[in-house]
Homo-oligomer: A and B are copies of this chain.
């Protein structure tokens, strides 16, 4: 809202700031006006020369967003002053054809779709980059053992490749959701109340030409108060942001001083502590996702629009939609940067698992004991007791009356080898990579 270049770059990229900022919106508004005039000329409604003259003036650099914003206060949207300013730019004989037959919302909604399309291309590219980085880690670390952790407790052995495969599957899903939403981006053109009455018989033809000129979908009917396209986009962007933040959260947790399994490629410093290597990029992604998710209700609530144009719901969409694009895309981009260069410390991964004395194999030992004794409950109790024994898991298992009776120390040692208790890890990895590669992307 407030021109935050001081903070914004932390949460998003320069490209996305440019694609969703004032200048981009202004150009999108102007592109909509130019395409409208063009479409009307295509249909013989206005002179081709007028349309060309209008299009020639539709350059953001000719207008001042700050002045337009201030002038917009009165009427509640920036199109009203923009149309006046644009008319003043064009030659007198073309002037009357500026904004012909359209209402402010037509231009703002269409501009929003253009902004979303342009930002969507960037976001998709960042998701592709992120998926590629996840796939790379999946392949490289297919066999890199680490502790799988649930509720932040070591649970079972996994490989880092499997963790990365889970990230990859999520990113691919998020891309698919975003793809579907992007396919719904459509022009809006309805005139003052959706009938395009001022265009006489030609409304539908102009709508079609407008869509073709802008390369957006042509809706079956105007969608000024049917905002499902916006809510679909919002949902997909929420998924993108959350998907990035899941990965970043794992990075922050692995980067903890006591865990030390991963380091961001270019960790942040501290203004006072010389030794700090903060996972600053991942923290920024987590923050971006929190902010992105908070914006969702505004955009879904926008569905609840009164009659033929909402008194407030619509106005509340513009900036949150821009922010959501910038934040979700920023989250994807920065996560891609981090994952692309993530330093992995396989030594720390195995040491962390070893430091807990093999308790991540407790399930396996219990199953082995139960297989011999036939009493799963008793096996669980015995193994659980050994896991909490201070003397070390292997020793406690050997010393346990029940366990020691059915497993000898060598068998226990073998059971405590995490490399042989990975279950379907390899299959999941293969399936995630195959699904990723099978996409027609």
Q: Which of B77, B151, B227, B245 contacts A304 (CB 8 A)?
A: B245
Interface residues of A in 201-227 (CB under 8 A from B): 203-204, 207, 219-223, 225-227
Q: A66-79 toward B: CB 8 Å interface, digit per residue (1/0)? A: 10111011111111
A404 / chain B contacts, CB cutoff of 8 Å: none
Minimum C-beta distance from A404 to chain B (A):
16
Q: Does A122 contact B (CB under 8 A)?
A: no
CA distance A153 to B256 in the complex (A): 5
Contacting pair B7 A318 (CB below 8 A): yes
Is A391 in contact with chain B by the CB < 8 A criterion? no
Contact A194 B253 (CB under 8 A): no
Complex: A152 Cα to B151 Cα, angstroms: 16
Would A10 and B69 be within 8 Å (CB), given that A149-B306, A193-B155, A380-B274 are in contact?
yes
With A235-B239, A238-B300 given, can you name 4 additional A-B contacts, CB distance below 8 Å? A9-B72, A75-B268, A148-B308, A222-B428
Residue pair A10, B221 in contact (C-beta under 8 Å)? no
Q: Are A246 and B424 in contact (CB under 8 A)?
A: no
- Determine if A220 and B435 form an interchain contact, defined as CB atoms under 8 angstroms apart: yes
- Please determine whether B274 and A383 come into contact, CB atoms closer than 8 angstroms: yes
Question: How many of chain A's residues touch chain B, expressed as a range?
Answer: 35 or more
Give the CA-CA distance A425 to B326 in the complex, in Å. 37
Taking CB atoms and an 8 Å cut-off, the chain A residues in 269-295 that contact chain B are 269-291, 293-295
Dominant SS among interface residues on chain A? helix
- Asked whether A255 is an interface residue with its Cβ less than 8 Å from the other chain, the reply is yes
Are B162 and A195 in contact, CB atoms less than 8 angstroms apart?
A: yes
Nearest residue, chain B, Cβ from A233: B235
Cβ of A85 within 8 Å of any chain B Cβ, yes or no, is no
A89 partner residues in chain B, CB cutoff 8 A = none
Query: Within 8 Å CB of A70, what residues of B?
Result: 9, 14
With the chains together, A432 CA to B226 CA distance in Å?
A: 12
Top 6 A-B pairs, shortest CB-CB distance: A235-B235, A242-B303, A286-B312, A148-B193, A275-B387, A76-B280
Judge if A113 is at the interface, Cβ distance under 8 Å. no
A195–B148 alpha-carbon span in the complex (Å): 9
A250 within 8 A of B: yes
Whether B192 pairs with A153 at a CB distance below 8 angstroms is no
**A22 touching B5, Cβ below 8 Å:** yes
| Max chain B Cβ within 10 angstroms of own Cβ: one of A22, A177, A310, A311 | A311
A 248-267 contacts with B by CB, 8 A: 248-250, 252-253, 255-259, 266
Contact of A96 among B99, B370, B428 (CB under 8 A): B370
Contact B272 A198 (CB under 8 A): yes
Question: Which of A48-56, A124-132, A351-359, A406-414 participates in binding chain B?
Answer: A351-359
Decide yes or no whether A169 CB sits under 8 A from chain B. Answer: yes
Q: How far is the CB of A133 from chain B (nearest CB, A)?
A: 16
The reply to whether the CB of A91 lies closer than 8 angstroms to some CB of chain B is no
Using Cβ atoms and an 8 Å threshold, which residues of chain B touch A199?
423-424
A169 touching B220 by the CB < 8 A rule? yes
Give the contacting residue for A283; candidates B68, B76, B276, B384; CB below 8 A.
Answer: B76
| Complex contact B2–A8 (CB within 8 A) | yes
Name 19 interchain pairs, CB-CB below 8 A, sorted by A.
A4-B21, A7-B25, A75-B269, A76-B283, A76-B284, A103-B150, A148-B192, A151-B280, A154-B258, A156-B193, A158-B194, A180-B180, A231-B235, A245-B303, A249-B304, A253-B306, A258-B352, A274-B363, A285-B312
